[in-house]
């Protein structure tokens, strides 16, 4: 008699590690969906599609492994795919987090600006500490910085006894220091570059023995956005202002580079308009709670307008070009270096006859050859700043800046960007600040992902004529670029053409080279003075290391002892 044998199914044991991994995968997927929704960077259709794919794919794999995978090979493959998805979701969460962090960093303008006031002495004078200045005389220049000077006086008065002697120009102030009329001087570090327009060796010849650091309130973002537009349907203009400093962006310095980007999202046209740094214009000041005495209505180099804040630079450009600037972006030397390096370098094409053996801004760096060149961050910055090597000088320099910007855009749009996204977001976080809102930037990104437009880049560079001009900030004469009035009109018309939906190339570039702006000499703005200050800074990186135990931010200035130029010599003063 046969016995009935009951067959029992052999239960497949689940690997506890894979079970836990499945739970982690589901949690990571949920976080990723939430972050995608909160970031709102993708077009709605792509965003919904991405969320559906993430949810469905995660559920299918986890359910398949839990209930359907019986054979070892199917369990292994499904477990492996769950692991891959978990890693991908983790990376996605990380990238979105870095993107959010970047937007917060660049659009939330700091509500404080840092002001650093130094006490400077002459090397070899025996005054190598603040205490050594006890019962001595310290020079000041209150006409340029009354508040900062008083802050420094109050600070050091608690430590030593001293007298002060006030001067009206930086040249007089340094003449007094070099000739022992004063044993130390009080200098706002914002004006450090101005000193180099007189003496490129000032950092090597002097020592900082004390620094007073204080903060001034800065206007909020809502105060600075004047002409916001719908950036996906209306033409807008952005001022890119490049400060001649390294480190952070919490203090003002000269605007070494000024470029306007006029963007028409309907015609997919981008016009780059470059302005020479030494363009001689009337300064239009904006009340930015700066402690410095902004020379409202006086003539000066455009680069000096940056000392009083990017809003002053913006208003000055709006005035002489008769245009509206909707937004601004502020960067500095460190921004360019860090961004280019984060992109893995950029490729630029150098036309015949424009090769450079060594860059004047940094002789230690290799120059560029004719044809294609791959540049890292430092070489890209040096290439963008070079002008002494070219016959056209500053005109070629601004062309190089346009080449660098377009090369960066090309690199960002390349597939290689996917692997470098995290590093690029890190670099962006501290690279620039803007008064565009996060939503406006995200709108542009969504527009790009929706239509993938082919942008047409056009460019124009304002020109002029170099001569001597009285600069209000210097309180003296210096090399400046007098504007060509035809060039200003052409720039205005090209910008207007892009706004009207046309190409800027429809506006003729033809100008009368002799139509140079004439300044009324009777107002003591321009006088042919054989003793005027030449501008040795033009190719010199003034941001050398003058660090001291008293200094708060050692990263603010860059050490570069590789470049040298003839020191300005004034027969009147003998130095």
Q: Is 244 inside a domain boundary?
A: yes
Structure tokens at 173: 């102030």
What CATH number did the domain enclosing 230 receive? 3.40.630.190
State the CB neighbour count (10 A cutoff) for residue 469: 23
Whether residue 145 is contained in a domain is answered as yes
Structure tokens at 301: 């180099």
**Residue 149: inside a domain, yes or no?**
yes
Residues 412, 446, single domain; the answer is yes
Range of the domain at 65: 16-107
Domain termination site, one of 523, 539, 569: 523
Q: Is 200 exposed, middle or buried (0-12, 13-18, 19+ CB in 10 A)?
A: buried
Which range, 266-270, 340-344, 355-359, has the best average confidence (pLDDT)? 266-270
- Burial label, 503 (beta-carbon count in 10 A; 0-12, 13-18, 19+): middle
120 lies in some domain? yes
Assess whether 238 and 136 both reside in one domain.
no
Instruction: State the Cα–Cα distance between residues 570 and 563, nearest whole angstrom.
Output: 22
Q: Are residues 99 and 160 in the same domain?
A: no
6 vs 497, which has greater pLDDT?
497
CA distance 131 to 548: 15
Q: Does residue 97 have a pLDDT over 70? A: yes
On whether the pTM is more than 0.85, the answer is no
Whether the predicted pLDDT of 209 surpasses 90: yes
Burial class (CB within 10 angstroms; exposed 0-12, middle 13-18, buried 19+) of 525: middle
Asked if residue 412 is part of any domain, the answer here is yes
476 and 359 in a single domain? The answer is yes
pLDDT at 494: 97
Whether residue 290 sits in one domain with residue 187: no
CA 184/CA 182 separation, integer angstroms: 6
241 and 229 within one domain: yes
| Distance, CA of 104 to CA of 390 (rounded, Å) | 40
In this structure, the answer to whether residues 172 and 254 fall within a common structural domain is no
Instruction: Examine residue 350 and state whether it is found in any structural domain, yes or no.
Output: yes
Total tally of structural domains belonging to the chain: 3
Q: Specify whether 413 is located in the same domain as 508.
A: yes
CATH number of the CATH domain containing 161: 3.40.190.10
Q: pLDDT tens digits, residue range 317-341?
A: 999 999 999 999 888 777 788 889 8
Q: Which of 161-175, 361-375, 512-526 has the highest mean pLDDT?
A: 161-175
Alpha-carbon distance of 200 to 138, in angstroms, equals: 22
- Statement to judge: residues 251 and 190 lie in one domain: no
Q: How many residues does the chain have?
A: 575
* 233 lies in the same domain as 211: no
* End-of-domain residue from the set 107, 128, 152: 107
Per residue, the 3-state secondary structure of 540-557, as one string, reads CCCCCCCCCCCCCCCCCC
Indicate whether 119 and 99 sit together in one domain: no
Partner residues linked to 479 by β-bridges: 468
Residue 542 lies in a domain: no
Do residues 432 and 507 both lie within one domain? yes
47-65 confidence digits (pLDDT tens): 888 888 888 888 887 777 7
Q: Which pLDDT tens digit goes with each residue over 141-179?
A: 988 888 889 999 999 999 999 999 999 888 899 889 999
400 vs 416, which has greater pLDDT?
A: 400
Q: Given a cut of 60, is residue 316 above it in pLDDT?
A: yes
Residue 544 domain flag = no
Domain termination site, one of 52, 74, 107: 107
280-282 and 362-368 strand pairing: unpaired
Task: With cut-offs at 50, 70 and 90, classify the pLDDT of residue 107.
Answer: low
């Amino acid at each position: 008699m046969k016995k009935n044998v009951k067959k029992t199914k052999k239960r497949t044991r689940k690997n506890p590690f894979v079970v836990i991994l499945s739970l982690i995968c589901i949690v990571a997927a949920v976080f990723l969906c939430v972050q995608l929704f909160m970031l709102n960077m993708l077009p709605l259709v792509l965003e919904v599609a991405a969320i559906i794919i993430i949810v469905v794919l995660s559920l299918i794999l986890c359910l398949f492994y839990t209930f359907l995978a019986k054979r070892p090979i199917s369990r292994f493959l499904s477990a492996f795919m769950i692991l891959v998805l978990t890693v991908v979701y983790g990376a996605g969460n990380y990238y979105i987090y870095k993107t959010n962090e970047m937007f917060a960093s660049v659009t939330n303008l700091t509500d404080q600006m840092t002001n650093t006031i130094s006490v400077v002495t002459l090397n070899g004078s025996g005054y190598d500490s603040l205490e050594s200045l006890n019962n001595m005389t310290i020079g000041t220049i209150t006409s340029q910085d009354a508040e900062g000077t008083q802050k420094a006086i109050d600070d050091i008065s608690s430590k030593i006894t001293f007298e002060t002697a006030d001067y009206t120009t930086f040249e007089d102030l340094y003449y007094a220091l070099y000739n022992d009329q004063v044993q130390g001087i009080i200098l706002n570090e914002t004006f450090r570059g101005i000193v180099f327009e007189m003496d490129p060796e000032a950092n090597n010849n002097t020592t900082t023995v004390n620094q007073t650091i204080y903060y001034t309130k800065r206007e909020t973002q809502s105060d600075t956005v004047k002409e916001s537009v719908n950036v996906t349907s209306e033409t807008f203009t952005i001022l890119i202002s490049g400060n001649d400093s390294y480190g952070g962006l919490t203090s003002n310095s000269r605007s070494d580079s000024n470029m306007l980007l006029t963007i028409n999202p309907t015609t997919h046209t981008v016009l780059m308009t470059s302005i020479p740094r030494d363009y001689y214009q009337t300064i239009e000041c904006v009340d930015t709670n700066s402690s410095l005495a902004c020379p409202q209505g006086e003539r000066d180099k455009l680069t000096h307008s940056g000392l009083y804040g990017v809003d002053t630079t913006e208003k000055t450009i709006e005035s002489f070009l008769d245009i509206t600037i909707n937004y601004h972006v502020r960067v500095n030397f460190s921004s360019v270096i860090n961004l280019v390096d984060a992109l893995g370098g950029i490729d630029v094409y150098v036309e015949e006859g424009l090769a450079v053996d060594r860059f004047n801004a940094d002789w230690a760096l290799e120059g560029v050859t004719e044809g294609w060149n791959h540049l890292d961050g430092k070489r890209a910055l040096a290439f963008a700043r070079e002008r002494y090597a070219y016959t056209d000088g500053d005109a070629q320099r601004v062309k190089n800046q346009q080449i660098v910007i377009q090369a960066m855009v090309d690199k960002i749009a390349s597939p290689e960007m996917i692997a470098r996204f995290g590093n690029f977001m890190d670099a962006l976080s501290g690279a620039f600040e803007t008064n565009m809102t996060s939503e406006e930037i995200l709108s542009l990104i969504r527009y790009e992902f929706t239509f993938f437009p082919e942008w047409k880049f056009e460019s124009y560079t304002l020109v002029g004529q170099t001569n001597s001009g009285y600069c209000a900030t210097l309180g003296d004469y210096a090399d400046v670029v007098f504007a060509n009035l035809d060039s200003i009109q052409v720039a205005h018309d090209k910008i207007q053409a892009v706004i009207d939906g046309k190409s800027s190339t429809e506006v003729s570039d033809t100008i009368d080279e002799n139509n140079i702006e004439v300044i009324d000499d009777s107002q003591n703005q321009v006088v042919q003075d054989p003793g005027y200050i030449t501008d040795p800074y033009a190719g010199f990186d003034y941001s050398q290391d003058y660090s001291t135990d008293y200094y708060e931010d050692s990263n603010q200035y860059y050490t570069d002892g590789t470049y040298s130029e003839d020191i300005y010599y004034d027969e009147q003063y003998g130095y």
